[in-house]
Amino acid sequence: MEICWFAEADISRCAALFVRVFNGSPWNDSWQLETAVKRLEELYRAPGFHGLIAQEKSEAIGFALGVIEQWDRHQLFYLREMCVAPERRRHGIGTKLMEALERELTSKTVARFYLFTMRDGSAQVFYERCGFSNCSDMMMLGKRLLANPGEKN
C-alpha cells in the first residue's frame, strides 16, 4: 500500500469508493456516482485543499480530504471526507492516512484539526483512538430547508 497526494485524476476512482462506502452501513446514504464526483470535485477545487489517497496497485482503498482555513491567530484543518474500503477496514489504512495527514499539517504549522462524524459509531471510536475528542465549547446545529432533499425549490 502507498499513500500519495490526492490529484484531480483520482476523483473518479475515489468517487466510486465513496459511493460504495457511504451507501453502506452505518450511513446508508443514497449517493450516485455523478453526485459523488461533484462532491469530490468541489472539495478538490476549494481554496486550501489538502488530500491523501491510499492505494494498492492503482486501486483506491481509502482517502482523506479537507481544507486548511485561516482562523484568528492560526490555521486549522477541517477534514471534510474520509473513507476506507469496507473490506480493508481494521487493517491500519485509516490510521496511516491520519498519521500522514497530521505530519503534513504540522509541517505547515496548522494548529487545529476538526471533523464531524456520526455519534456513537465505529467512526467515532476510530477518531477517538487517533486522539480526537468532543469539543465541549462547540456544537453542530442544522436546519431542514426541504421536506424531501431531492425536490426542487
Domain contains 86 = yes
How many distinct structural domains can be found in the chain? 1
Sequence-ordered strand ranges (E) for the chain: 2-5, 49-56, 59-70, 75-84, 110-115
Domain contains 24 = yes
The pLDDT value given to residue 149: 67
Domain contains 144 = no
* C-alpha grid cell, residue 119: 455519534
The pLDDT value given to residue 146: 86
Q: What letter does residue 78 receive in the DSSP assignment?
A: E
Q: What is the pTM of this model?
A: 0.87
Domain contains 149 = no
What average pLDDT score do residues 25-49 get? 96
- Domain holding 82, by residue range, is 2-129
Domain contains 139 = no
Cα angle 138, 84, 40 (rounded to 5 degrees) comes to 70
Q: What letter does residue 89 receive in the DSSP assignment?
A: T
Domain contains 97 = yes
Domain contains 152 = no
CA 129 to chain centre: 16
Sequence-ordered strand ranges (E) for 11-150: 49-56, 59-70, 75-84, 110-115
Give the pLDDT confidence of 69-108 residue by residue, as tens digits: 999 999 999 999 999 999 988 899 999 999 999 999 999 9
Reported as type and span, the H/E element at residue 108 is none
* C-alpha grid cell, residue 56: 494498492
The pLDDT value given to residue 152: 54
What average pLDDT score do residues 122-132 get? 76
Domain contains 119 = yes
Give me the CATH number covering residue 85. Answer: 3.40.630.30
